[in-house]
Structure 1
Amino acid sequence: MNDQEILDRIKKGDEAALDYLYKKNYKMMVNMIIKNNGSEDEAKDVYQEALLAFWTKAASGKMEMTSKISTYLYSICQNLWRKELSRKSKLTNEQKDGPQPDKSEETERAKIINKCLNELGETCKKILYYFYYDELSMEDIAEKMGFANADTAKTKKYKCKKELDKLVKSRYSTQDFLD
């Protein structure tokens, strides 16, 4: 079966094409992940997720192939594996940071910060919420706030953060934020 036949069969919903792809590319995809510090189970999961993504895109008819299917699948697997490694790295780093503060301490700290945030001007409050809570980029914040560019948003965020720090430090003991 060539790549065009596979795509045509996928568009028709022929699951045999999926089975064929799975078997044909299995070793290459699994070996790539194992060579990059993955287990066979992780490799199978990533490969199945990649096949599902490929199937969905191909079945929609919106796929334009500029390379072989195996190359496309390999690329999907690589990207998914990188994301998984990054996620695992974050989890490991969080575990290394030691015991986490209990929820009541976190809640109290959040209340203190929110109280001080409410004392800032509306512009500062919005900028800090957009950045820390909504996790927007400086470009997005500049656009939402009507600033000339991202640099203006960065400068304003910096000033607002300094003002928030000053409010928190003046009103609360640093012990409130240290274990």
Structure 2
Amino acid sequence: MSAPLAETLTQLRVGNQKFLIDFYQSSRHLFARWAQRQLRLAAPQAHELLQDTLLDFYDQVADGRLTLMPADLRAHVYGMARLRLAAHVPAHQPLPAAEASRRQRLLAQFNQLGPDCQQVLTYFYFRGYHFEMMGGKMGYANATVARIQKSACLRKLYELLK
């Protein structure tokens, strides 16, 4: 969890779930104890609830409903789990195969772009930087150069997806 929060959100948006896997592995025992005390769940049900809740969190990030990383991620996830249990949401509703495949393909293509293109697209689409700010961060002469670079990078990504 040493990556900056904005970078974590960016990686989640392009389909990289490593952060969530690490969070699950480091938190599952604590979550199970909390769920046993607060929700009266056995450890296996608590682990399933945590997995499903983290997948819900991922979906919220991926589709843009969650744009900022919560200040206290653990409290946020625990609250989501409590709401999920209260709403009686069925467990393990996986993404449709087509969507899961699309996300994996997009991540693979995004990783094939050069670091500058990855940074430009991250700044514009995931951090919401306007062209002036992006130009300053990337060291471009002006906003027009940033706009042109973003267009070129997006075109490269589109070509890779074909």
Q: TM-score range by the shorter chain?
A: 0.3 to 0.5
Scaled by the length of structure 1, the TM-score of the pair is 0.42
TM-score by length of 2: 0.45
**Counting helix residues as a fraction of each chain, which structure ranks higher?**
1
Who wins on radius of gyration, i.e. which is larger?
A: 1
